[in-house]
């Protein structure tokens, strides 16, 4: 018997990190017109952007399906394994409820509501994998992760409000005005929900660097293990500039880059970038 660590696809961990830490990813669904696709398996963010721009709408997204959760969990339950399953915030999706229901009261299943999204989840997943590798039991890992959940700092800058407007998360008039004035909101995740922290103006490249450098005091007081740069298709030059800045702080053991998956990209649109880390 072993500790199995699972996460839904909104954790936005790269294939390399998934393999390094032995994580099983369970996809949410992305619905484009009459067709449904599994996030990260049979649709890419670039295809989503292409479809969204062509159809002037955004895809719908759906929680992990009962069928897919059953297919993944049943063999682990039958084997008597300990299971730690990380889900996107319950304020954003019903995935936690689906997994708990499929688990059917299995005592060794620990469903963790990350109260986050993207690599705000990924940070918790990696920490759990490291604790498991260090010999901690599953129940203690789940307790530790939940205790530290509020220490995850997740924020990002959005280039265009068009995708949020198409998805009904802001008005078309607000989006048009913001895009015309080159206003880029900084979105923060707090208590499991998203909210606007600040608004920056100018070219998106300038806004993103202003955002990143504005985090400096918090970054200097961050847990030094790692920091994520997660983006939805920003230029290589811009990502490198952010990476160089973070590495130059001399705080982090590793600076990790990941590309946002289909669910996150569907809602935020292209050229979004976030810096995510644990507080000490």
- The domains located in the chain, with CATH, are 3-149 (3.40.50.10170), 152-279 (3.30.1180.10)
pLDDT of residue 205: 94
Instruction: Tell me phi and psi for residue 181, to 5 degrees.
Output: -90, 5
C-alpha span between 160 and 183 (Å, rounded): 8
The residue among 40, 8, 1 whose CA lies nearest residue 24 is 8
Look at the alpha carbons of 152, 153, 157, 163 in this order and tell me if their dihedral is positive or negative.
positive
Instruction: Tell me phi and psi for residue 154, to 5 degrees.
Output: -125, 120
pTM recorded for the entire structure: 0.94
pLDDT of residue 171: 42
C-alpha span between 263 and 93 (Å, rounded): 11
Task: Report the phi/psi class of residue 158: left, alpha or beta, with left for phi > 0 and alpha for psi in -120 to 50.
Answer: beta
pLDDT of residue 57: 85
pLDDT of residue 152: 98
The answer to whether the beta carbons of residues 16 and 2 sit under 8 Å apart is no
pLDDT of residue 115: 98
pLDDT of residue 56: 86
Tens-level pLDDT at each residue, the chain (280 residues): 699 999 999 999 999 999 999 999 999 999 999 999 999 999 999 999 999 989 988 899 999 999 999 999 999 999 999 999 999 999 999 999 999 999 988 999 999 999 999 999 999 999 999 999 999 999 999 999 999 999 999 999 988 776 665 555 444 334 434 454 467 888 899 999 888 888 888 889 999 999 999 999 999 999 999 999 999 999 999 999 999 999 999 999 999 999 999 999 988 889 999 999 999 9
């Amino acid at each position: 018997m072993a500790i199995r660590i699972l996460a839904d696809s909104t954790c936005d961990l790269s294939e390399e990190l998934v393999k390094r830490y032995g994580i099983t990813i369970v996809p949410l669904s992305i619905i484009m017109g009459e067709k449904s696709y599994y996030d990260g398996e049979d649709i890419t963010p670039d295809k989503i952007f292409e479809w969204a721009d062509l159809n002037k709408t955004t895809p719908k997204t759906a929680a992990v399906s009962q069928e897919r959760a059953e297919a993944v969990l049943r063999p682990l339950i039958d084997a008597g394994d300990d299971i730690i399953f990380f889900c996107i915030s319950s304020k954003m999706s019903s995935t936690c409820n689906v997994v708990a229901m499929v688990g059917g009261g299995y005592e060794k299943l620990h469903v963790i509501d990350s109260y986050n999204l993207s690599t705000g989840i990924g940070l918790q997943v990696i920490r759990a994998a490291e604790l498991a590798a260090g010999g901690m039991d599953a129940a203690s890992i789940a307790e530790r992760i939940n205790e530290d959940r509020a220490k995850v700092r997740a924020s990002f800058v959005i280039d265009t409000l068009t995708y949020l407007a198409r998805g009904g998360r802001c008005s078309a008039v607000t989006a048009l005005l913001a895009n015309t004035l080159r206003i880029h909101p900084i979105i923060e995740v707090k208590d499991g929900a998203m909210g606007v922290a600040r608004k920056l103006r100018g070219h998106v490249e300038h806004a993103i660097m202003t955002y990143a450098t504005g985090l400096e005091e918090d970054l200097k007081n961050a847990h030094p293990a790692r920091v994520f740069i997660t983006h939805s298709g920003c230029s290589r030059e811009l990502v490198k500039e952010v990476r160089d800045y973070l590495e130059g702080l001399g705080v982090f053991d590793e600076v990790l880059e990941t590309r946002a998956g289909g669910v996150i990209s569907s809602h935020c649109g292209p050229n979004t970038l976030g810096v995510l880390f644990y507080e000490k």
